[in-house]
Structure formats: C-alpha cells, structure tokens
Structure 1
C-alpha cells in the first residue's frame, strides 16, 4: 500500500479543522438561541396569572356586562372568528369542526430593487433573529452541456472570497453565532443566512453574506475536494436502487429537456468542469435581475430595504434567465425494468403534472392527499399495505415546478410480489381517475390539510421558505391568505376534473429497479464475508 503523501495529509488536516469549526459554529448558534429564548420566557407569576385568566373565562357563564350575552354565546361567535383562547377552542370539538378556515394572515411587503431583484419581507419580532434567503434562477436546469455545474458552483460559494478563506469564514460565523446555508435544485439555487438582530452580530453576518454571494473566489483546492466528493457520491448512488430509479425516471420523462439533466452530474461532466466554467456560470446567473430576496425577522421595513439594497449593490445587474421550454413528457406509456442485486424491487409510476402557477392546485393538492400523499389514511396505503401487506409504505406525489413537474406513485416491495403490487397501484389509480374520491374522504382530507396549514408559517424559517417560493414562481401576494379558502371550497367534481385534465391526460412511465436477488451466503461462510462489498449494480 502506498503511504499518503504530505499534501494528502495536509488536506485531511484542513478538512478536519473545517469540520470542527463548523460544528462549533452550529453548537454556538443553538446555545445563543436558547439563551435568547430563555430571556423571553415569562415569569412564573405571569404564567400563573395568564392561566388563571384563561381558566376563569373558560368556566364563567355570567352575562357579559358590555353586551348582555352569556360567555357561552360569545364563545361560539368568537370561535367562528378564530378569537377564542386556546383552552376554550379545544373544549368543543363541534366548534373546531364548524369554525371557518383561518387565513394565514401574514403581512407580506414586496418591492423591487433598482437592478430588478424581487424583495419579499415579513416583519416578525417575536424572536430577535433574522432569516435572509437569496433565491437565484440558477438550478440544474441551467447546466446545459455540463451536468453538475450548478451544484458544484453553489457548493463552492462559502469556500473562500478575496477577503477570507474557508476557515476564516467559518471562524467568523462561529464567533457571532450565525450560519450560512447553500442549496442547489433543478429550478433554483439558494444562499441563506440566519443571525441575531443585535447590530454587534447582524452587521458582521450580513457582510459575510454579501461577500459570499457576490465575490466567491472558487479556490482550486476546494474545487478539487468538492469534485472528488461528488464523484464519490455518484459511485455510492450505484449501490442505492432508489437513486437509480430517480435518475432514470427523470431522464426518460424529461428526455431532451433541461429537467432531465442529472443535478449531481455525471463522472464525465464533473471531470470536465473547470474553474473558468464555474466563474462564468456565477457571472451569468448570480445576478440581481435573476434574484429573489426573502427576508423575515425582527427588523422593520427600513432596515429590510437597506439589506436588499446592499445585496443589490453587491451584485451586477445582469440579465434574468430565460424561461425554460415546456416539457413534452412521454409520448406513449411504457414500462422499463432494470435488474438490481437486491431482495426488494423499487417501483415508480408517473408522468407530467402541472407547473406551480396552475389554478387547479387546491383540487390537485386535496386529491393527491386522498390518493397517496396523506400517509396512513390514503387509498394507496389502505390497499397496498393494510389490505394486502405488500409494502411498508406507498405514496403519490405532485411536484410542480417552473414548468410542468412530475406526478409519481411509488413503493418498494419484495421481488416476488412486485408484479402484484404494480397491478394494485395501477388499478387503484384507474379507479380514482374514473370515480374520484368519496364525500367522506374529501371532507376528512380537507379538515386534515386545513389543520396543518398553519405549520407552513409557524416560524421564521418556514415563512422565509414560503416567501422565496412565492416570488420565484410568481404567485400572488395573497396566496397564503386565500389558500385555506380555496381548499375548503374544493368539491368532488373539482378533484375529478383536475386529475383528468392535469394527470391522466399524460402518458405514464412505469419504472422498476430490482428483481435480481442478493446471492445467499452459506452460514459457514458468513463470517468471512461480513466486511465484503455489496454487489454493484450493472
């Protein structure tokens, strides 16, 4: 065996230092947040006083001095308006069921910067923290002839700038309890910041965000390391049938379309990507006119505008990315079976669905929850798992994107029952398209969805996620407010019509990965093979 070179040892030590610094930054952020939250905790006396007031109101039947009505009558009125204390709301299941769907009443402010960036801002002063999310139209769909270019560019953003190397960036974030996150997807690339709003921390954190976004240096050492990590990841995917399933499904459904480009690249493309390719991609797509700025936290509009303006000034104006072409999808239904050395077969059935701006979203959302998106209570789960015991879990999903995203139904089952499970998936889907849901399924699902919607804006991070997506996909400012009403208004006919028009009208692809069992190792030889490598996929 060849001994590691000096450069390899130095590289390993540098990687270890970075991991340690990032772990320290993470734990410091958590500790800082806990201290802040504890400082906001009410005293025991305040808590007892509040509890006593709620308890008294919930149990009092005396007439109201102001209106002459009883508290019980006022309670019914207030429940419908969503104004009752939590304890009183939970005291009556009837009031909960009869209450009108509550709007997600968030005050969203929106404007554009001089260079064309869209800004979405929500003031939230409950906790002295700030979340900033930069969403660039710079996902894998922009990779063109170099799959993986968007992902590797995004991964390198916090690896160094002209003013700080990767270790210095990590140390500065650790010292102020802030964090910067990166993400690359098919449609978009993301840079996010979370920090305290105390100026002693905020100003330094924002300066790092501006620097990382606008002036990454793409160091050669980091490029080599991240390229190697991505190549290792591609090798690891060969051992995972679900990764093969996902990659092949997208390549077939979106053949010839940018959505068919594998976001993590190919061995050939990753090896071909150069520093100049990365710099050119950043210069083209990480520009103000191609950007959404989402801001949520304990700052006012004036401060939010200052932050947006600083980001706008740091970036070149550039040009917005052109609209993606409309995908054609599969021209005819087809079934593809790929052998894989495993005892389980992974199955996905699906085709094109809708883009994110569809007016049918509420009906599709409700219908998909009934079909397979609602977990244990869904039709697919009832038939595949509970009635026939063929799979531990089964799902359906609609994933709208800038252009038509995929509709999928999927599961994994033993090789011996794969054909039976597939037949049940297809028959369940066919019946759902023909007949739609029952009235009982519809009402139960709508109540379940409406009960969970507030969680989508339950904290700053959830809000900034929503703001970024709304602006990126050009959804109206009142989207979050009107969605509960639209869901509550969905009818049986709405679900049937939406699925017939947007789902069943497209050819479906069936992809099965598996069907070749893992070779059995005799018990007498099991110990000798306990550390051997799993068989690779062909």
Structure 2
C-alpha cells in the first residue's frame, strides 16, 4: 500500500496492528506512592502524575455507617448528604447556602462529593491544578469541611425525601430480599443496620453537628492525592484542608464487634404477589480486607461466580439451563468480615431449581477446588483486569485510598499480579474451605412460586 492511502484492507491491517500492539504492551505500571504522617496524625499518600494538569483528592475518616449510634442508623449518610447543603462563613469565604455552593462549584468546573460507606466517610475532589482554579476549589472545600451548617429546615426537607424514597422502595421484592439477607448474615452487627423513617426521625441538626465534631478529625484522617503536584504542594494542601479539624480531641473510638461466622444454615422464603422474578441471595460472612487469604479468595470467587461468562455459576445456570440472564458472586471486604454473596433473579417457578443448583456448585467447588485450566484463566483475567484499575488518575486515587484505609503495604498494587500468579489450586481450596462452608449458608428467596 502506497503512503497516504488507506483502503479497506489498509484499515483492517491498521486495526490488527493496533490490537496486537495493545496485547503485547506491558501492564500499566503500579503507581509510585509517597507516604508520610503529619504532626497532627493525618496520613498523606501522594502519587505524582504530570501527564495532565489535574488533581484527584480523597479525604477519609472513620465515619461510615458502622459508627451510627443505636437508633440513628443513617446518620453518617445524612451527614454526607448535608455537607453540600450550606456552609457558614469561614476564613475569607462568605456564608453560602446550598444554591450558592452549587453555583460556586459550577463556576470553578471542579467536582466534589461526599459519601458514607459501611466503614469510612469519604470526600472526593477533582480539579485542575491551575492556580486560578485549584486554590479557589481548595478554599471552597475547606469551608465545607470547617463550617457545615447542617441547617434544620434543609434537613427536614431532605428527610422527607428519604422517607418517600424508602416507602416507594418497599414495593420492590429485591429490597425485601436484601433486608432479610443482611439481617440473617450480620445478626445485629452494625454492617447490617438499615436506615428507616424511625431512625431518620431520631436524627436532628444537633446529632449531625455532634457526628461531625466527633468523627471529622485530623488525627485519624487519610488524605490521598493523585496528580500534578509536588510534595510541598501536597503538604500545603493538607494543612489547608485539615486546619479546622486539628484542635478536635482525638480519643480512640470504641471498638466494634467482629462479624461472627454463621452457626447453622438459614433459609428464608417469602412469596410476593405479582413478582415477575424471584430474587435469590445466598451467602455468609466472608473476610476482612486485611485477611491473608484475601487474594486467594478473590481468585477462587472469580472461578465460582465473579468471572462473568467464564464462571461456574454462569455456566450451570445460564448457559446449560437458561434459568437466568446473569448470576454473580462477590466478597464485600472492609474493616470487618463483609458478606460473600451470590445474587441472581429467575422466574418464580424456577427458583427452587436455581437454588438447588447454586448449592450444588458450591458443594462441588468445596470438595474439588478449581481445575488447572480454571486457575490459569482466572489468573490471566485478573492480572489483565488489574491494569484497568490503574489506567486513570481517578482510578488510581480510588485504589490508593482503599489501600490507605485498609493499612496495606505501599507495594500492594505493585505486587498484586505476582501474588495472584503464584497461587496454586491447593492455596485456593484451603482458603475457600476456611471461609466458605456450603452447609452454613443464608439462602433468601423472595417471590418464588409456592
């Protein structure tokens, strides 16, 4: 083909060359993480990335839903919701209500969010590093962190919206199934607590302020920064954001109980009039993120139900029998042992057959473990997929923040592929048998035929 011409076969050849090039490229390099602890106790994790004039920030502290007081489930999530609903005057920033805050962020073109998961309260910021954008964005976020108003009238309005959404959700069988499953797996542990109209009614502006004063503290904060900034800039940024929290007392938070293993199998089935699909949840408590078998369990789960169309559950229930469009399993691993869960939907008259097949797949895997070919395929898929978790600054920030929260080694992301590839069939089977007992599972079915 002459230079400058791209015919039909030319484009095909170019596409083939590009695909080949992508396949032979080495995996995305793990980020180089700089870490230090400030005098106020905050831990800073910095990944320098000069490719784009952007900065991704994650500021986190021990304020997830597991810290909600008894009778006030939903308090942490309410604080996250209200953090953007108004801020009092702070430093050189004027007082702003929710509309003024939204307009200020829109004018900057920066993005921020606040979320409360089971374990942690997380504030995220994404902004340009140009001084005319970065500094106003940091000042605006610092104002929200220092002086949230938690206005009583605004909270009353938002509470009404939450209650309306909760009431609407009660008409969904999947919501009922999730509630029954969480209660059976966690049995009173804070991981299984559910926010309801009653618990929201027990939350007022004073409770929101008290939560913020107690949990938003510099001494236990983790600050992750990924972008085009130096260490000196990172330290200055940390000082600016954490300054209002430094004077707060730092007594240890009370310890929380662990999620105990199930003493016996539990089966819960409820009819649901008019349900087009039966909701099926099967599982039990899994492991905490720092468990030494976490990587082996991730590989084993990929084979059982986490690998999409290559998983055993998908093969048995969809491909061979057409019982569902999809079935998957996953570990929820945090500071405590989150649930390992199989999730699927099927026609009500097929629910009993599907449940029996899921149990049989789990028993067989616990007896025999994976084949050599299943192990090789899972290792290859997970190693290749690992690079996709690190191909943008935003993803790197999420991964490093998770590493920081779990207090894992700084080389965790760099060594993960090698640790996956070093696993044997015996490693997977030993780890799986230690954690997953097919004779002590919670099985929840909502909407099955009688």
Aligned twin of 1:143: 68
Aligned twin of 2:46: 121
Aligned twin of 1:201: 133
How far did 1:405 drift? 1.1
Counterpart of 1:391 (choices 320, 324, 328) is 324
Aligned twin of 1:487: 420
| TM-score for both structures, normalised by structure 2 | 0.91
**Native 8 Å contact 1:114 1:312 kept in 2:** no
Whole-angstrom CA distance in 2 between matches of 1:290 and 1:311: 14
Query: Does 2:91 match 1:158?
Result: no
Secondary structure of the residue aligned to 1:457 is coil
Q: Please give the per-residue CA displacement for 1:328-347, whole angstroms capped at 9, x wherever unaligned.
A: 14321110112223121111
How far did 1:365 drift? 1.0
Counterpart of 2:442 (choices 506, 509, 520) is 509
Secondary structure of the residue aligned to 1:158 is coil
Whole-angstrom CA distance in 1 between matches of 2:22 and 2:155: 60
Whole-angstrom CA distance in 2 between matches of 1:396 and 1:205: 40
Determine which structure has greater relative contact order: mean sequence separation of CA pairs < 8 Å that are 6+ residues apart, divided by chain length: 2
Q: Please give the per-residue CA displacement for 1:453-500, whole angstroms capped at 9, x wherever unaligned.
A: 111111111011111111111111000000000011111111101100
Counterpart of 2:20 (choices 54, 72, 90) is 90
Secondary structure of the residue aligned to 1:249 is helix
Relative distance call for 1:462 and 1:506 in structure 2 (3 A) is farther
Aligned twin of 1:368: 301
**Native 8 Å contact 1:191 1:213 kept in 2:** no
Secondary structure of the residue aligned to 1:343 is coil
Q: Please give the per-residue CA displacement for 1:115-143, whole angstroms capped at 9, x wherever unaligned.
A: 21111110111111111111121111111
Aligned twin of 2:235: 305
Whole-angstrom CA distance in 1 between matches of 2:438 and 2:176: 26
**Native 8 Å contact 1:220 1:275 kept in 2:** yes
Whole-angstrom CA distance in 2 between matches of 1:201 and 1:477: 31
Secondary structure of the residue aligned to 2:389 is helix
Aligned twin of 2:110: 178
**Native 8 Å contact 1:103 1:480 kept in 2:** no
Aligned twin of 1:237: 169
**Native 8 Å contact 2:138 2:241 kept in 1:** no
Aligned twin of 1:534: none
Whole-angstrom CA distance in 2 between matches of 1:233 and 1:376: 34
Counterpart of 1:402 (choices 323, 328, 335) is 335
Structure 1 residue runs of 5 or longer lacking an equivalent are 1-47, 49-85, 518-538
Which is higher, the Rg of structure 1 or of structure 2?
Answer: 1
How far did 1:149 drift? 0.8
How far did 1:377 drift? 1.1
Aligned twin of 2:268: 336
Secondary structure of the residue aligned to 2:400 is helix
| TM-score for both structures, normalised by structure 1 | 0.76
**Native 8 Å contact 1:343 1:515 kept in 2:** no
Whole-angstrom CA distance in 2 between matches of 1:289 and 1:512: 45
How far did 1:512 drift? 0.8
Secondary structure of the residue aligned to 1:299 is coil
**Native 8 Å contact 2:28 2:390 kept in 1:** no
Whole-angstrom CA distance in 2 between matches of 1:106 and 1:207: 28
How far did 1:103 drift? 7.3
How far did 1:89 drift? 8.9
Aligned length: 429
Runs of 4+ deviating beyond 6 Å: none
Correspondence 1:23-422 to 2 at 5 A: 90=20, 96=24, 102=27, 104-145=29-70, 146-162=72-88, 163-262=95-194, 265-316=195-246, 317-319=248-250, 320-341=252-273, 342-422=275-355
Aligned twin of 1:521: none
What RMSD in Å do the two structures reach over aligned CA positions? 2.3
Aligned twin of 1:468: 401
Structure 2 residue runs of 5 or longer lacking an equivalent are 5-15, 89-94
Secondary structure of the residue aligned to 2:242 is helix
Relative distance call for 1:376 and 1:304 in structure 2 (3 A) is same
How far did 1:183 drift? 1.1
**Native 8 Å contact 2:67 2:190 kept in 1:** yes
